[in-house]
Amino acid sequence: MADTSISQPPGSGDGALGWSARLSLTTRILLVNILPLALLGGGIFYLDTYRTQLLNERYKMARIEAQITAEALAGASRSRQEALLVQIGKEQRMRLRMFDAEGRLWADSFALDEPSFQFDDITDDSWNLRFARWLDRAVDTIVGAEPVTDYVEPESQLADAWPELVRAREEGHSQITLYDWRDGTPVITAAAPVGLNGATLLTTRNAVDITEAVRAARSTLGIAVMLALASSILLSLFLARTIVAPLRLLANSAAKVRQGRDRDVEVPRLPERRDEIGLLARSVSDMTGALRHRIDAVDSFAADVAHEIKNPLASLRSAIESLPRVTDADTRRQLEEIATHDVRRIDRLVSEISDASRIDAEMSRAKREQIDLAKLIEAIIGSRDARDENANRKMVLNTHSLNTVVTGVPPRLERVIENLLDNAVSFSPPDGEITIDLWRKGDRVTLFVCDEGPGIAREAREKVFQRFHSVRPSGEDFGNHSGLGLAIAREIAQAHDGSLIASDRPDGRPGACFELELPAAK
């Protein structure tokens, strides 16, 4: 089975991203959206602070109530004291008990009248109340709440059975104690001395409202978090589907292209998507098309190279094999000339092929500069005259614009101009004139190279840019040309975001004209 893993550059993957690199994109999206909600849900546990605040306020209230009640009872008759115990107990929903100086219980608001509240009997509680008590205990455990003593009515009716009453009698001021009833609600007792004769008062309140308030807040927050969590999960899955699914589709298509299993595999372009995923899909599709075009071009180029080199090699082999059997001096000289001609042709072919194959790589690495085409052409013409490469053809440069600066790679643009001039010299008559016109129109600079040769038929104007296509003037040595000059020139022009085409002379005279167009420098 072929390896479908994708190599990663140094610094990427697990080493750079840590544990998150091992998670799928869907999982990461879910984590990013759920983690804040999880932290918000953790606020349920910190509602214990809210409960503590409520209890502290209730402690202050219980102390004040016990002190005020004790002062009211201190100066009243026994009948008035009993009436006050009943009245205050009903109004405040408390149980009030008075103990005499010997610590005996002599008045109880629950015994004097109907009890103002009842403790909940948890034996018949519903499941939601049992769950609420379990959640209370879980929260207390998580936040490390201090344990609270269970509230149990002592069997003895003496004041000594209540630690808070003992402390209040000894210290001479009110005492507060927190207990916990079986249903999880707090029970707050307050003990205070009554007058100076040693009597004491004990108030008992079942603060059910505190537990109900905390549970209501917890339930509201929990419902909100659950709804937000459900919405976040659904939106995350939707987001993951709109991102992960097309990315996975693109990855699978790219893997098939890389493995070469299906030559006609189509990378989806996702035209309906106008976002970055759609842009990526179209870029990958275009890149795949360009890659296939390059592969096809390489295959075609390799076949053409083999064909073009094979002919001079066959001729060279035939000449070399015939030499030992030939004794005639003239015939041997002709065979040697043929071999020399073939070697020269092969050498030129190899040089041109090597140059053509390096164009893309060199253009991707080369640094582009601003080039004045007029000055570059003048330098090339002077250099060609010095090397006698113009073959006595007259070259006329007409610059019709002041600014003819373009951005490009100087050696490569020089190669384009050299190839165009070589072609013009080849087809111009011995006394012909080669006209070079340079224009700037808007943001484009156009170069015309025109000769006075036979011209190019309209149906053959694209063929002259094909590799190894060469139609030479009669009498010219075919080995001096590889058929790659114009093809290389067009490739370089296109690599500069320009174009190169063949046309008639603009003045209507006989001859061919090549039009090179390049973007002007900004």
**Pairwise CA distance, residues 159 & 157, whole Å:** 7
Rg (CA), the chain: 50
User: What phi and psi, each to the nearest 5 degrees, are found at residue 490?
Assistant: -65, -40
Taking the chain (522 residues) in runs of 10, the rounded mean pLDDT of each run is 41 46 64 67 66 87 91 88 92 93 92 91 78 79 79 90 91 90 91 88 91 81 77 77 79 76 68 77 80 72 67 79 82 82 75 66 75 91 85 87 88 88 86 90 91 86 76 49 74 88 84 91 84
Q: Smallest Cα–Cα separation from 241: which of 12, 24, 519?
A: 24
pLDDT value for 445 = 93
User: What phi and psi, each to the nearest 5 degrees, are found at residue 159?
Assistant: -65, -25
Helix (H, G, I), strand (E, B) or coil at 511: coil
Helix 208-259 × helix 127-143 angle, to 10°: 80
Q: Domain 305-359 - what CATH class?
A: mainly alpha
Please report, for the chain, the start and end positions of each structural domain, with discontinuous segments joined by +: 44-217, 305-359, 363-519
pLDDT value for 6 = 38
Pick the CATH number of 44-217 from 2.60.120.260, 3.40.50.2300, 3.30.450.20, 3.40.50.720: 3.30.450.20
pTM of the model: 0.46
User: What is the separation, in whole angstroms, between the first and last Cα of the chain?
Assistant: 53
Give CB contacts under 8 A, 24+ apart, made by 479-483: 479/312, 479/341, 479/342, 479/344, 479/345, 479/348, 480/348, 481/348, 481/426, 482/308, 482/348, 482/349, 482/352, 482/353, 483/308
pLDDT value for 376 = 92
What CATH architecture applies to the domain 363-519?
2-Layer Sandwich (3.30)
pLDDT value for 446 = 93
